[in-house]
Structure 1
Amino acid sequence: MKRNKQLMVGVLSAALLFNGTMALTPSAFADDDDAVVIVKAPLDSNKILTDWVRLIVVNTSGVASKDLSDVLDGLAAGQTLSQASGLDGNLSTELFKLADQTVANAASNYSGNSDEFDNLSKEIKNKTTEILSIPGYNGNNLKSFDFKAVLQDRMSSLNSAATSLSEDENIDVIDRLQNGATLLQATRLDSTELINRLQHPIVQLLEQAETNGAISSEQASKYKEEALQAIRTGIETPGGITVKVEQAGSGSGFDGAALLKKRGESLIQDISLFTAEYDAIELKDALNSGVKLFQTSGLSSSELIANLKGLWGKDIEEAYQNGQISDKQKEELLNQASNDIQSAINSLN
């Protein structure tokens, strides 16, 4: 059984609105000798923060396992969001965990340095703390509703969301995906259960949008069906779903060194996905204070290295499967990744 860690909580974590196109089918690239790399859009912290605030009531209902209508009723009666959730002081803890996952998703989908992502995390948490104490908070009303952006956010995190729902270890699910299994096969979950749990965050957001008058009941029904079909396609796609985030006109040769450098820069974030007690911010603070990694991770060095190799290897394997790199290049990149991970873990221990 996997460790009880909320990598995902089954709620829509601050819709990340991507500037680009979304592919709901396996990646396909031209069969030429020049490889291709997806160029990430620059981080837009203000937009991510705005979306987090816009969705904070929906996310609260998710982490509190409470109907959205009940939370809204509590706010309408003058309660704070903490009171309406029924979690009181524990709500901030649960939302902070979700904020860490939101920042992790941003780090995976946008380009930026570690300070920018650290600042984004602090801004989200500071704003959350401010909102939780406001009686009758109503800042979540939707003036407009961008279903395409909401669906794209759900699909962009579909692999990680489905993986977190499985009772198997994350690394085992990832291995099955790398070997060509679908998400349904890799997670070993019932089809109906998996679809319902993946669709639930979108359904909640659609219901809120309908309640606020942003969309009609007919639109809500139409969007629910579109989400259902997209998720069904996603879980039945061999190797998992691929959502590309790219800027118009961008693209260049595949840069393995850049890939490993980017992974190295997000090492602490990657490690936090497999630790039992620390999120990324807490882990970084602990290491900066002189605590050794083996004291914080709850894993042996060999276990942690194996998990990280599986995570980094997925990017390399995807490039190989898409014809972007040769057998030799794949082997060289995997070896270099292994060496980089080993060196990094040794330095932190």
Structure 2
Amino acid sequence: MRKQLMVLMGAAILAASTSGIVLPRGAYADEAVTGVNTTAQTNAEKPDTQVATIDFSTMFLNNWLSKLDVHTAEAAKLNTSDFSDLLHNGSSLATASGLALSELSSSLIEQFGIDTSNEVKQGTLTDEEAANLQQQFKEGIASWVQQSWPGTNATSYLPKDGKSIIQNRLNHIISDAATASAVAETDIRQALQSGQSIVEATGMDAQALNSVLNTLLGGDLDAAVSAGSLKVDQRDQLAISGADQIWQVIEKKGYDEQTTPWMEKYGQALLNKKLDPDMMIQAAAAFAGKDYKDITDGLAAGQSLVTASGLASSDLSAQLMDAISRDLDNEWNAGNLSAQLRDQLKKSAAEAIDKAIDLDGYGQAASGSSNHAIAEESIQALVEDSANYAEAAVTDLRQSLADDHTLVEATGKDENDLSSYLQQNAHAYIEQAVQKGWLNAADLAATESEADSLVLDAINRQGYKDQVDAKQYMANRSDRVIDDVASVSGIETADLLKNLDGGQSIAKAANQDPDSLLYNLLKKANQDINGFAAAGAISKEDAAKLKVDYGAWAVKYLSAN
């Protein structure tokens, strides 16, 4: 009886949304496959029927029900150990609360209604979604509170893969070997690069080192079993598989860590930062013993870095490359890069430096091509921004537009003043896109120019509505998943990437449990999508499809990462 309530919730609620846990082929999901989710595609070639699709509404309801004991205690104004003891001994929530069934049910219905209404105010639930949830809750609450409380048997939405435990141990095998042997990790890496094996580099007996490493793996597997994320019958099979892989790694001469997609992203982000024009100009000024402004003035006059610095091309190239090479070596020594990737990045850096230092006017505004998608994204909230500028209610502004007025007419503002304000907002978004790596720096000016034209067209168009491309939104979410995870987790994108590069799962790297991360991502997406629908930028039907598609993608992505 102790699991009956959660089983009931799982059957009644999940079945309604997952249709037997079948991942649907959504309206936009197939068109949202981009470079950043390579990890998910590569590591998760599993049948769709193994991956559940879920939405924010379902998770919100299940999360609320998982804390039904807390809500019951609040309703009954209880704060005693007697209440917990009764639940632990198999009593129902209704019995333990001491309230009449009708009184407890009414109080919980009221609490749930308040919480769903708050979500509507935040934009994470629509009125219709909230009403549907409240109806489900009213229909089920009397039955749920009369079942034995299941305690910690909370619903989980993501399948667990014990293979990731093995991979995590393999990702740290050099540092683990260093700890076991008391040999510095940097010395082991140097020995591996010279062709030795991990066993040879540590100086330990192979069987002794293998035993230590397998003990560490065993501890991880036991912890997963205790936490309920790994089945007992999977433990021994994974231990055998892991032992075989550990033995092969420690005996392999010249072993190099696997270059993962996350490592590549981390390395490329690192290199992009080192090759940033401003960083290169500052370094050239320092090497030449000149003021930064002297170099930039020369570049503005059309000179190259070589000419502006007064250094020989080979000297400037060598000094710039030495600095970057040292940084990459330090990242390799720290275990953040494989030797193979480090060498590839060095090669790319040398080619970029040789090209940059002889480029006339280096670092000055380049005439790239406009990124139409980013230009359109930069004005997605044009009506809301206009309302803010005019200090007017967004609903009033939208109604005026629906009556066939233009934004200039609806705001009552001077056309030049309004356009200038909106263009500045668009430029800020586009500059952020460059900083986050969504847009090539060379395309900044051209994209801003297109955004300016879009603003001028929009503010003079009768009946203007914010425009959102639903397909592009799905593509953006999959392409910018790291930024989204960082945003909902309160962690810097660079730190998140470094944690991922170190072999952590995306949830662990974000310092969240997987289901909480899924919940937060779905909440953020729901807020976006509901906002688009409320603005008339997409239809309610498109909004519903987007939520299904994003939920399916997010579950599959997090399951693989």
Rg bigger for which structure? 2
Do the two structures share a fold, i.e. TM-score over 0.5?
A: no
More helix by share: 2
Higher relative contact order (CA 8 A, sep 6+): 1
TM-score, structure 2 as length reference: 0.28
